Each structure stands twice: as C-alpha cells, then as structure tokens.
C-alpha cells in the first residue's frame, strides 16, 4: 500500500506539517482513495468529515494514533495474546499468562472470524458500512505509524517498543469482541483458565500448567457487571419538555470510567454527509460515537445491574469428570491445549468447554468435583451487533426511532441507555444483552441450593442436566438465549428519567418499573446515596429549591448542578456525627488505639458539606463514610429516596469508624483543603481535582486511593466524558469536557489542558453546526488519505 497523501496536523500549538500545507477545502475522495478532512478544534478535538465510511474510519484511526497510539498498540498486544512475551509474567504482570491463554483460545477457535460470517445486515453479521469503518481505522492507524516510525514516536510509553506494530481489521474486531464479553466470560477469565478436573490425567508436558490456578473470589463473580470493581459506573439524566426551560430535550452524560489505560474515552465529531453526523465520545480504539448526539437525539449510557452470564450446574458421569450428563446421555467436554509464549519459554494449559460455554471454577462456591462442574453461557460472546447498533443510534431522528433500534438489534452489551429528543421526549431503557432467565425458568430450573443466591443477587445457576433448562428463545428477541424487549424495562416520560447504576426500579420515582426478571435487577430495595442525590437534584431544580434562578433546566444550570459537589451522606448525618464526637471526644480504633476526636469534630463542624477544591474536612468524612456510615432507621419502600437517613449514633462502630478515619489520615491535616490533597499529576504539575467517593453520597464521582501521609495524589476512576447537551430548534448546544484530556502522551499539547479546565469547573462548548465550529478561534484543518488497496 503506497501512501498517496499523508498530512500531519499543522497546528497552532506546534505540531509540524509533513510536506503539505493545511487545507480548508471539503473532504473529496475519488473511488479507490481514503480521504478524510480533519478539523482540530480547541483542546485538540477532531471533527472528521469523509464521503464514505472507509474514509471516515481512516480519519478516526489516524487522529487516534496521533493522540493515543500507545493505548491502542497495547490493546493489540492483549488481543494477540502477547502480553507475557512483551510485558513479563512476574509480580504485577503475573496475570498476563492468564490473559494470554484466554485470548489465544479465542484465536485458536476462530471465534471472531466466525462472527464475521453470515448476512451483512447488522444483526446476523456486521454491515458493510461498519466493516469499512474498521478497515479504514486500521489503515489510518498504520499510515500514521508508517509516517512517524515506531522509533520516533513522542510518547515515551511506547516509543521504540517492539510491540508497536501495524494492526489489522481482525485485531480491531478481536479488541471489540473482548469489550463485548468484559462483563461475561471476560469477568471470569481467571476461573476459565483455572478450571481443571479433580483427578490427574496424562503426565504434564514440559511447560504445561496443571492443577488449580488462582481463580476469582466468589463475591467478585456474583457482583460482576462490567468486569470492573464494584462502585464504578455512571450518572445520566434524560430531561423532557416538562423539565427544560426551552421545552426541548436535554441529556446529561456523566460516565465514570478509568482515567488511564484502554478504557479512556476520546472526544470526536464524525460526519459522512447525508448518512451520519454525530458528536460525542467513544472508547479509544473504537471507530464510532458511543455516547453523544446528532441534530435531534442525544443519549448516554450507565452500567446496568443485569448479569451477563448464567451458570449451568453439570452432573458428571461416574468416573469421568470431563463427561457430563444431558437428558440422561453422556456428553464429552471439548478439551484443548492452548499454548502461549513467555520470556521463559512456551506455556500451555488445557481448557475445557461444554455446549453451554466454558467450564469455570470459583473456589469454595463453584468447585469442580468428581460429581459436579459448572459452565457459563455468555450471550455477548456472540454479540456482533454492537457497532451497527451505535451506528443506527447515531442516525435516529427521535426517541421512537431509538427504541426501534434497541428492539430490533438488542446490541448493548452491559449498559442502560438514557436519551432525549428535540421534541422533549425522554427515555430510559435497560435493553442490554441479558441471558434469558425468566421467572418461570428460574422457578423450574434453579436447584434449591442456588435459589437464595438468585433471589439475593440475580446470579442464576441453572440445572445443566436437562434440555428444558436451556436459555431458549423469546419470540421477540433478536437472537436466541437473551431476554426479548417485552421482558426488558423501558420508560418514556415528558419530565425526566435518571440512572446512577442502581436498577431500573426508580428511573423516575413517579412511575416505578416493576415485575421484571430478577436477573436484570432488584426492586423495592434501598437505593445508593448517589442514586438518591441524583434524583433529589432534579426534583429540587424543578421545584426551584436549589438556590439557582428559574425552575427548569438549561445547559448552564445542568452543568452547575452536576458539579455542585454535594456530599449527600454528609447532609444526612454530619450534624449528628459532630454531636456524637463532641459528647465522646475519645474513641477506640479497630486496632485498639485510643484516639482523640477533638480535631476531627472541629474539622467536620467547619466542613461545607461539599467536595469542592476549597472544602475543608471533606476527606475526613469520606474516610469515615467508607468505614462506618450506618443508619438507625430501616429502608422503607414507600419512601425510597429518604430512607434510611438517621445516623446510628448508638452503634459503637460509628465512633470506631471515625477513630479509624483519623488514624488513616495521620500526617494529613484533618481540615486540609481538598484541592491541596486530591490531585492529578501531569508531568511535574499536580492539578487539584474536585469530586468525591459515592460512598459519601457524591454525584460527581472521583475515586483515588489514599496514600498515607500524602493524600489522594492520583485519580484512578470517576467522571470522564461530561456532556450537557440541549437539542434546540437551531441545533444542539451545551457544554462538554474530557476530564483527563484528549491525549495520554505527556508530550502532546492536549495532555493536560482539559484537566486544568475541569479543575476550575470550566467547559468546552458543543460544536455540532458549521457555525459553532467555525467560531472556534483555534480551528486548524488538514487532510489525511492514501490510495486503497
């Protein structure tokens, strides 16, 4: 493939043009060419226009490589099963062997290749438009790498590294598949690789791993949603005509994702004239907008509470732990040996599959014994519909259109959708991919041993010995094995819908959603403090009791509300906690140490009940809340947003928790400004960061581990892409920001600019229309392209 036209970003911030001047003309392409027009706006945000989806993908791949090539390259190492080879296997890298074995099995089984066969209708197999987008992305990435050279990259994370190589479409599809299964088989990778029968077979070959390997803890498996630690997720509002000042729909997108690594978002605006025009964000390495808006509809996602896989309890044949009984007949497991390369030589592992899916072990809960084993079915392992689904979302003209897309494609792997349209209709839907465990199937097919687990958590363990206990098919489902739209919660309103990672039940408290299968989520149970403050903020804004002018939402006051940084837990209990520690100024910590609480009482008394940069004592309440926020009153399903609310002052663990918090903060002033101790590093700069932990009832989530004697020097998770968009008659408008900035490269001009902006609660504006974009004083235009092969 010979480059025909490769142009670097000739920007006002010092990127050097490569041989050609920047251009302001339209993106024109002759047949057989990739050609994309890139217009970099403030903060490096690319607005990409192309005449077809292959060229659009090319432009996306090129600019993402310019900004985040190391992130994409490392993701390719993962899906090529080469982490052990390049990143080692000792210490923190020990998990690389497990990852490689899992990914190598995918490669050996040609899982992704099989998902790319079939009718290209976007449901049974990806459409030509999406395939073109992926093909173009790979070509654009490779063009940037070829122009720059791996040895001359400016990002020290991967400059000159042997694992920075050209990528293929298949690499990208494998990375996409890995994202689809992160809440299913990807959440129990350890358990799949660790699974081994209880009796030895043939002697191990050199390099083969045998016996029991580390496997996931039971609690982590039961709680698995998106493959990430508990507590992560997102906030979102869909605001309808009765909640906005203009009567047009508005959406708040507030996903909480990691600030580093492959799950970073990337802002962009993508356009194929007459066919696709969407602004928003996608995860780095993905070619289409996943959260954003077009001219008439906006949407966001939050992590759903539904479980993504079902366990199947296998009854094993006597004397043969790799054969299971199915309707009384024996079925052999599929046994295969997978081999990966490590610095110490090849390593092999024997893995086991059933017709349900892989065999999994979770020690102490799902053990492989002489008589019983467990397999999982993961419907997202066959989900090849997602990119076409997001493409269709981007083309929706109304909430009704969006619902049609959700019903027909059923592609969302592990998230809810919250949306609104220009006419002021708001939508909540958990139309994610959920194993088809109906109430009837659960009552008939979950063995007595596992019924409490299902009732408590929604995690289903089905009888794998009977064909009648297969997942089956709903008549309205897009594919077999998943719940159809009739079984999934959906709510359309003219006022508002909201979700902060609790279940669907109170998407709008005025119209609770009830009667859905337990595997999707719980009903009539206590809501998190973050959910409660999320609803209170909407209600108080509409009632005009939050201190802001007016009684309905505008983009400006939606931004203010979102970054108001209220700590709802503190609003509920701070005064009682101060009264308690004033009356009992000495308490015993968990380690038996006697702790003077006088300074803690003073710090809490002076705290402003927020997690702003100037808030003093906020960190003390956070540490207390994480260790001992207990209530005296019980949850009342008739008052779900106000109960529980009273501090359990008679519970001795309250004083112990406060003493523990004081001990944990030894060396850090208890009345320190939050902005002095909660920061994000950018080179030698430490940028103050506001926000707080959801355990303290904070809506604007910031999770950063406490470093003893220092504070919170690095954000690991929290508010990432933030968007408040209104779908007005003259086009979308509003505010947006990427909290950790557009590029992970410390030598990029877009490494810290939005992070500083976020620190001051600033924002970038929506730039969807030509008028909005051309008004940007920092706009720089260039074109990238080459002849296709």
Give the E-state strand segments of 475-548 in sequence order: 490-493, 496-499
Q: What is the dihedral of CA 424, 428, 433, 437, to 10 degrees?
A: -140
User: Considering only CA atoms, which of 500, 608, 505, 627 is closest in space to residue 564?
Assistant: 608
Task: Using DSSP, state whether 598 is helix, strand or coil.
Answer: helix
Q: How far apart are CA 452 and CA 537, in angstroms?
A: 36
Task: Using DSSP, state whether 147 is helix, strand or coil.
Answer: helix
As given in the structure block, the two tokens for residue 785 are 């392209």
As given in the structure block, the two tokens for residue 165 are 């190589």
Q: How far apart are CA 565 and CA 262, in angstroms?
A: 27
Q: How far apart are CA 218 and CA 365, in angstroms?
A: 6
User: Kind of pairing, strands 461-463 and 310-317?
Assistant: parallel
465 is catalytic: no
Give the E-state strand segments of 224-275 in sequence order: 233-239, 250-258, 265-272
Q: How far apart are CA 408 and CA 321, in angstroms?
A: 41
Burial track 636-661 (b if 16+ CB lie within 10 A, e otherwise): eeeebeebbbebbbeeeebbbbbbbb
Whether the CA torsion 410, 412, 416, 417 is positive or negative: it is: negative
Whether the CB-CB separation of 678 and 662 falls below 8 Å is answered with no
User: Considering only CA atoms, which of 276, 263, 403, 294 is closest in space to residue 744?
Assistant: 263
The one catalytic residue in 234, 615, 733, 748 is: 234
DSSP state string for 372-435? EEEEEE-GGGG---HHHHHHHHHH--SHHHHHHHHHHH--BSSEEEEEEETTS-EEEE--B--B
Whether the CB-CB separation of 522 and 513 falls below 8 Å is answered with no
Q: How far apart are CA 729 and CA 248, in angstroms?
A: 8
Cβ neighbours, 10 Å, residue 318: 10
User: Considering only CA atoms, which of 486, 480, 512, 507 is closest in space to residue 496?
Assistant: 507
Angle between helix 169-180 and 386-395 (nearest 10): 90
> How would you list the strands of the sheet with 276-283, edge to edge?
490-493, 426-429, 415-421, 297-303, 291-293, 276-283, 265-272, 46-50, 33-40, 780-787
Left, alpha or beta for 96 (phi > 0: left; psi -120 to 50: alpha)? Answer: alpha
User: Considering only CA atoms, which of 460, 419, 504, 412 is closest in space to residue 226?
Assistant: 412
User: Considering only CA atoms, which of 610, 619, 612, 567 is closest in space to residue 758?
Assistant: 612
- Contacts for 337 with CB less than 8 Å, ≥ 6 apart: 208, 348, 349, 350, 351
Q: How far apart are CA 329 and CA 709, in angstroms?
A: 63
Residue 84: φ, ψ to 5°: -60, -45
Burial track 687-720 (b if 16+ CB lie within 10 A, e otherwise): bbbbbbbbbbbbbbbbbbebeeeebbeebebbbb
Task: Using DSSP, state whether 732 is helix, strand or coil.
Answer: strand
Task: Using DSSP, state whether 694 is helix, strand or coil.
Answer: helix
Angle between helix 568-583 and 529-543 (nearest 10): 110
Q: How far apart are CA 431 and CA 416, in angstroms?
A: 7
Cα separations (Å) of 412 from 75, 303, 590? Answer: 21, 10, 44
Which residues are marked as active site?
Answer: 234
């Amino acid at each position: 493939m010979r480059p025909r036209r490769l142009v670097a970003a000739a920007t006002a911030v010092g990127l050097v043009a490569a041989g050609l001047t920047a251009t302001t003309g339209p993106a024109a392409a002759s047949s057989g060419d990739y050609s994309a027009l890139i217009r970099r706006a403030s903060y490096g945000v690319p607005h990409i226009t192309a005449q077809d989806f292959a060229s659009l993908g090319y432009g996306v791949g090129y600019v993402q490589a310019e900004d985040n090539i190391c992130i994409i390259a490392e993701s390719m190492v993962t899906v090529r099963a080469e982490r052990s080879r390049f990143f080692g296997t000792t210490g923190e890298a020990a998990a690389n062997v497990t990852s490689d074995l899992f990914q190598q099995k995918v490669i050996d089984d040609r899982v992704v290749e099989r998902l790319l066969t079939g009718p290209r209708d976007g449901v049974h197999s990806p459409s030509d438009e999406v395939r073109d987008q992926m093909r173009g992305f790979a070509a654009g990435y490779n063009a940037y790498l070829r122009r720059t050279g791996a040895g001359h990259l400016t990002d020290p994370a991967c400059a000159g590294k042997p694992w920075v190589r050209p990528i293929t479409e298949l690499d990208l599809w494998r990375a996409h598949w890995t994202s689809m299964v992160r809440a299913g088989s990807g959440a129990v990778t350890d358990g799949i690789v660790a699974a081994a029968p209880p009796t030895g077979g043939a002697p191990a070959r050199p390099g083969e791993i045998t016996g029991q390997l580390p496997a996931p803890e039971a609690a982590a498996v039961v709680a698995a949603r998106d493959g990430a630690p508990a507590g992560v997720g997102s906030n979102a509002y869909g605001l309808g005509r009765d909640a906005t000042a203009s009567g047009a729909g508005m959406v708040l997108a507030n996903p909480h994702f990691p600030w580093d690594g492959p799950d970073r978002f990337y802002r962009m605006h993508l356009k194929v004239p007459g066919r696709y025009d969407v602004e928003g964000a996608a995860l780095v390495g993905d070619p289409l907008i996943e959260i954003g808006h077009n001219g008439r509809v906006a949407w966001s996602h939050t992590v759903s509470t539904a479980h993504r896989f079902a366990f199947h309890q296998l009854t094993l044949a006597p004397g043969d732990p790799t054969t299971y009984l199915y309707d009384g007949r024996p079925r052999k497991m599929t046994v295969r040996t997978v081999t990966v390369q490590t610095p110490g030589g090849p390593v092999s592992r024997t893995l086991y599959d059933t017709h349900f899916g892989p065999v999994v072990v979770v020690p102490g809960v799902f053990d492989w014994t002489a008589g019983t084993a467990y397999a999982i079915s993961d419907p997202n392992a066959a989900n090849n519909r997602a990119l076409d689904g997001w493409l269709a979302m981007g083309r929706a003209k109304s909430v009704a259109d969006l619902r049609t897309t959700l019903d027909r494609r059923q592609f969302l792997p592990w998230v809810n959708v919250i949306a609104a349209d220009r006419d002021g209709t708001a939508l909540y839907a958990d139309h994610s991919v959920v194993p088809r465990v109906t109430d009837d199937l659960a009552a008939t097919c979950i063995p007595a041993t596992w019924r409490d687990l299902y009732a408590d958590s929604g995690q289903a363990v089905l009888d794998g010995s009977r064909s009648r206990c297969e997942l089956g098919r709903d008549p309205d489902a897009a594919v077999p094995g998943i719940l159809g739209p009739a079984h999934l919660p959906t709510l359309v309103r003219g006022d508002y819908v909201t979700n902060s990672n609790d279940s669907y039940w109170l998407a709008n408290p005025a119209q609770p959603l009830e009667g859905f299968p337990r595997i999707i989520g719980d009903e009539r149970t206590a809501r998190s403090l973050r959910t409660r403050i999320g609803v209170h903020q909407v209600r108080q804004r509409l009632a005009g009791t939050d201190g802001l002018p007016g009684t309905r939402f505008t983009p400006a006051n939606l931004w203010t509300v979102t970054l108001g940084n209220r700590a709802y837990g503190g609003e509920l209990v701070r005064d009682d906690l101060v009264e308690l520690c004033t009356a009992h100024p000495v308490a015993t910590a968990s380690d038996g140490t006697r702790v003077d609480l006088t300074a803690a009482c003073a710090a809490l008394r002076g705290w402003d009940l927020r997690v702003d940069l100037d808030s003093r004592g906020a960190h003390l309440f956070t540490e207390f809340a994480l260790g001992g926020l207990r209530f005296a009153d019980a949850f009342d399903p008739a008052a779900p947003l106000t109960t529980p609310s009273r501090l359990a002052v008679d519970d001795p663990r309250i004083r112990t928790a406060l003493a523990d918090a004081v001990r944990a903060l030894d060396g850090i002033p208890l009345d320190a400004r939050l902005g002095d101790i909660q920061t994000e590093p950018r080179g030698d700069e430490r940028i103050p960061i506001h926000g707080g932990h959801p355990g303290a009832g904070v809506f604007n989530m910031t999770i950063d581990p406490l470093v003893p004697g220092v504070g919170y020097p690095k954000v690991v998770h929290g508010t990432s892409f933030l968007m408040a968009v209104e779908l007005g008659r003259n086009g979308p408008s509003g505010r947006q920001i990427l909290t950790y900035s557009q590029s992970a490269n410390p030598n990029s001009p877009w490494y810290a600019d939005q992070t500083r902006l976020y620190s001051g609660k600033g924002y970038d504006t929506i730039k969807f229309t030509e008028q909005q974009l051309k008004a940007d004083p920092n706009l720089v235009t260039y074109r990238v392209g080459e002849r296709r092969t």
